[in-house]
C-alpha cells in the first residue's frame, strides 16, 4: 500500500500553548488507521488540520502528494475527503432524510437527483435507520444523531474518511456495526483515519495504530504484546494486562483495589 497522507514536521500552537510539535507520520491508503491518546493530547487539533478546518499550522500535510491547503472541496477530479466531528447542533428540525441528503450537495448543483435519493436510502438501510427517515433530526438520541451524520458523510462516497470518535455515543450493537461497516469500506478502497478512545475496539478493527503523546504521534507496535502494553501504560498512566484473542492483543486495566 502506498502512503496516502504524509505529515512532515507539523507544529501548531494555540497562542503561546504549543499543541503539536514537529509531528511526523504517514497514513497508508486503503487502511484503517487509528489514533489513540489522552483527552486534550491534541488529537482533535490534528483532526482539524487534516480535515482542512484549521489552516494556520507550520509544516507540511500532503494528501496523495498534494498539499492539504491546495485541495479545494467540490471539484470532481480531486480527492474526496469526508469528515465527521464530535459536536454538532442544528437549529431547524430537518428530517433525517433531508439531513443525509445534504451529503450529496457538493456534486449536484441545484437539486438532488434520483441517484442521490437512492444513495441516501441505501446508507440509511445499511444502519437500520430507514424507519427514522421522516423524523426530525432534533428529536433523535445522541447515538442516532451520530449514525445519521455518519450516513451523511458516507453518501458522498469519500476516498478519504476522517472520523473523530465515531463510536462515542453508540451502544455496543452499533459500535460493532459501525466498525464492521468501516472495515467493509476499507476493503472496497476507502482510506480511513479514526480518532478513538476505546483501545480494544481499535485493536479489533484497525490496521495501524498511533498514540498521541508529548505533542507527537508514536507508532504503536501492536504485534508485540510487551511493547504494546508498555506504550499504552505510559500513555494512559494505568497498569494494564493483556489478553490474546484471535491473534490480536487486547488490553484490560488492572484493578488497584481487589
Q: Which is nearer to other proteins, 61 or 228 (CB)?
A: 61
Q: Is 69 helix (H, G, I), strand (E, B) or coil?
A: helix
Nearest to 85 by CA among 152, 10, 178, 6: 152
State which residue, 94 or 236, has the beta carbon closest to other proteins: 94
Select from 36, 129, 153, 192 the one that contacts other proteins (CB under 8 A): 153
Q: Calculate the CA 30 to chain-centre distance.
A: 14
- Which bin fits 65, alpha (ψ -120 to 50), beta or left (φ > 0)? left
* Cell, residue 192: 480511513
Nearer to other proteins, 8 or 14 (CB): 14
- In the complex with other proteins, the residue whose CB is nearer, 85 or 242, is 85
Half-sphere exposure of 191 (CA within 13 A, CB side): 17
The nearer residue to other proteins, 61 or 203, going by C-beta atoms, is 61
By the 8 A CB rule, do 101 and 117 touch?
yes
CB of 245 to other proteins, least distance (A): 34
All three cell numbers of 74: 467540490
Residue 172 engages other proteins in binding (rule: CB under 8 A): no
Residue 109: what are its φ and ψ, rounded to 5°? -70, -60
Count residues near other proteins (CB under 8 A).
38
Residue 242: CB minimum distance to other proteins, A: 36
131 is an interface residue for other proteins by CB under 8 A = no
Which of 24, 66, 138, 141 lies at the binding interface for other proteins (CB under 8 A)? 138
Distance in angstroms (rounded) separating the CA atoms of residues 50 and 61 = 8
Q: Which of residues 56-115 bind other proteins (CB under 8 A)?
A: 72-74, 80-85, 88-95, 98-99, 101-106, 108, 110-112
Residue with smaller CB distance to other proteins, 153 or 211: 153
- Of residues 170, 201, 242, 245, the one with CA closest to residue 36: 201
The contact set with other proteins (CB under 8 A) reads 51-53, 72-74, 80-85, 88-95, 98-99, 101-106, 108, 110-112, 138, 149, 152-153, 156, 158
Amino acid at each position: 500500500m502506498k502512503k496516502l497522507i504524509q505529515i512532515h514536521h507539523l507544529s501548531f500552537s494555540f497562542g503561546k500553548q504549543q499543541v503539536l510539535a514537529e509531528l511526523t507520520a504517514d497514513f497508508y491508503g486503503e487502511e484503517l488507521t487509528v489514533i489513540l491518546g489522552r483527552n486534550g493530547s491534541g488529537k482533535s487539533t490534528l483532526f482539524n488540520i487534516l480535515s482542512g478546518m484549521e489552516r494556520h499550522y507550520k509544516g507540511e500535510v500532503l494528501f496523495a502528494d498534494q498539499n492539504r491547503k491546495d485541495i479545494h472541496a467540490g471539484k470532481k477530479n480531486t480527492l474526496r475527503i469526508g469528515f465527521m466531528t464530535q459536536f454538532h447542533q442544528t437549529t431547524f428540525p430537518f428530517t433525517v432524510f433531508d439531513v443525509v441528503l445534504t451529503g450529496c450537495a457538493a456534486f449536484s448543483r441545484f437539486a438532488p437527483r434520483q441517484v442521490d435519493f437512492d444513495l441516501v436510502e441505501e446508507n440509511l438501510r445499511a444502519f437500520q435507520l430507514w424507519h427514522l427517515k421522516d423524523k426530525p433530526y432534533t428529536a433523535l438520541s445522541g447515538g442516532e444523531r451520530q449514525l445519521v451524520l455518519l450516513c451523511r458523510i458516507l453518501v458522498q462516497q469519500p476516498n478519504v474518511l476522517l472520523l473523530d470518535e465515531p463510536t462515542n455515543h453508540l451502544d455496543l450493537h452499533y459500535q460493532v456495526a459501525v466498525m464492521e461497516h468501516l472495515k467493509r469500506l476499507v476493503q472496497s478502497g476507502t482510506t480511513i483515519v479514526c480518532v478513538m478512545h476505546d483501545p480494544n475496539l481499535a485493536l479489533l478493527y484497525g490496521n495501524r495504530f498511533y498514540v498521541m503523546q508529548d505533542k507527537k504521534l508514536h507508532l504503536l507496535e501492536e504485534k508485540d504484546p510487551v511493547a504494546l502494553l508498555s506504550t499504552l501504560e505510559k500513555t494512559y498512566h494505568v497498569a494494564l494486562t493483556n489478553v490474546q484473542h484471535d491473534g490480536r492483543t487486547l488490553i484490560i486495566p488492572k484493578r488497584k483495589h481487589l
